């Protein structure tokens, strides 16, 4: 029998190992708990468009979802995503052209704003962002940071049928979740690792960050504003791609304009 979050609650007397950057060094959630928590947050987000933005129904934009699925599938097929076969990796598009962001709930529930898709010039840059978000779920950063922000008992309550207001509070926090320096660096690095095994430019995420810096976008996404500084992250991503001897050539079969034009 797998250890569950209910078992973990009996271990609260044990000290949590704290990493030097302030993040939790121990994740008491199981993979199944990640999926269940993420599903609860997904249901909250999808049911409340006034609070989180209108999620586009896949039946209303099948071509757009097809492009998003195609890009995600290529990253997952890299062979480098640890929970590629365990997490559901559900995809959702939020119709808001004013927001340049994407986020991923625990368990692999990924949300992408239309504003991000319209803003980017390259499918490789978008794939870099997707790799970054996949890494946050795959490396289980979201569960660790949500536990740090809300406490184990609050998240465990969601798994056991908590008050809907608690779920809403955590879902709102997910949209603005601040990851640690170590988490952000690891997500950047794994984006390179994932894309290195695909036909996408392995430093794709650096292209997105560089465009935001060049254009002086002040209200960029949470994962850009968090330390380390964006310019250092561009340098680090490019250095990681070079160190791994990955291709940084554009994807030969990308259909970025087709993706953008298929949005509602």
Domain residue limits at 42: 29-248
pTM for this predicted structure: 0.83
Specify whether the CB–CB gap between 190 and 30 falls below 8 A: no
Structural domain count, the chain: 1
pLDDT along the chain (264 residues), means of 10: 34 30 57 88 93 96 98 98 98 95 93 96 97 96 78 70 71 74 92 98 94 72 54 92 98 98 95
Place of tokens 């940071």: 145
Element counts in the chain: helices (H) and strands (E): 14, 3
pLDDT of residue 215: 84
Which of the 8 DSSP states describes residue 102?
A: E
Q: Judge whether 33 lies within some domain.
A: yes
Specify whether the CB–CB gap between 185 and 235 falls below 8 A: no
25: Cβ contacts below 8 Å, ≥ 6 apart: 16, 17, 18, 19
Q: Judge whether 23 lies within some domain.
A: no
Which CA distances in Å does 103 have to 79, 85, 157?
Answer: 22, 20, 23
pLDDT of residue 227: 46
Q: Judge whether 106 lies within some domain.
A: yes
Q: Judge whether 227 lies within some domain.
A: yes
Q: Judge whether 256 lies within some domain.
A: no
Q: Judge whether 206 lies within some domain.
A: yes
Q: Judge whether 104 lies within some domain.
A: yes
Q: Judge whether 260 lies within some domain.
A: no
């Amino acid at each position: 029998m797998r250890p569950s979050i209910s078992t973990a609650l009996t271990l609260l007397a044990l000290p949590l190992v704290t990493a030097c950057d302030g993040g939790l060094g121990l994740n008491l959630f199981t993979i199944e708990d990640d999926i269940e928590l993420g599903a609860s947050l997904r249901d909250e987000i999808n049911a409340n468009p006034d609070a989180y933005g209108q999620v586009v129904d896949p039946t209303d934009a099948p071509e757009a979802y097809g492009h998003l699925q195609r890009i995600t599938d290529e990253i997952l097929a890299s062979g480098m995503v640890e929970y590629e076969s365990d997490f559901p990796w559900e995809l959702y598009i939020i119709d808001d052209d004013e927001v340049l962001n994407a986020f991923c709930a625990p368990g692999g529930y990924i949300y992408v704003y239309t504003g991000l898709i319209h803003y980017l010039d390259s499918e490789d840059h978008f794939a870099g962002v997707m790799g970054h978000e996949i890494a946050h779920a795959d490396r289980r950063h979201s569960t660790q940071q949500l536990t740090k922000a809300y406490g184990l008992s609050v998240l465990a309550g969601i798994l056991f049928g908590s008050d809907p207001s608690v779920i809403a509070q955590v879902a709102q926090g997910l949209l603005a979740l601040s990851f640690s320096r170590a988490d952000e660096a690891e997500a950047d690095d794994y984006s390179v690792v994932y894309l290195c095994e695909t036909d996408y430019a392995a430093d794709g995420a650096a292209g997105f960050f560089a465009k935001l810096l060049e254009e002086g976008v002040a209200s960029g996404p949470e994962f850009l504003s968090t330390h380390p500084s964006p310019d250092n992250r561009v340098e680090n991503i490019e250095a990681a791609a070079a160190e791994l001897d990955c291709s940084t050539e554009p994807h030969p079969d990308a259909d970025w304009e087709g993706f953008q034009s298929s949005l509602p």
